[in-house]
Amino acid sequence: MDFPPPAHPGPAEDQLLVLQGDHRSSFVWDGQLSMEALCPRRPDDLWEFIVEHPFHARVVARLQVTSFYTIFELGRMQLDWSLITAMVERWRPETHIFHLPTGEATITL
């Protein structure tokens, strides 16, 4: 049984990708980073900083009026920084599309 060749994770057309020379994806597509461990970028501890440095009363009032204060009332959420970093590295600002090994993907509401 003949299997199709593996799909190349790069874009089918790269004419719109004017930043390709500086984008991390070019190293991924060339196979230079395939064995390198992903090092997530993360703030030291943003939530603890926010708790230790409360907002000014006027800021709290504005956040409550806009209903964004609920975010701070929820407390700390567990984020998958590796996943976020991986998605950031695959985001193309020229096309507003994620370039993934399986193809292109965009966010829809």
For 32-75, what is each residue's pLDDT tens digit? 665 666 666 556 666 777 777 788 899 889 989 998 888 878 77
**Minimal CA–CA distance to 85: which of 98, 94, 96?**
98
Six token digits for residue 41: 């970028």
pLDDT in tens, 66-78: 988 888 787 777 7
Six token digits for residue 64: 């409550």
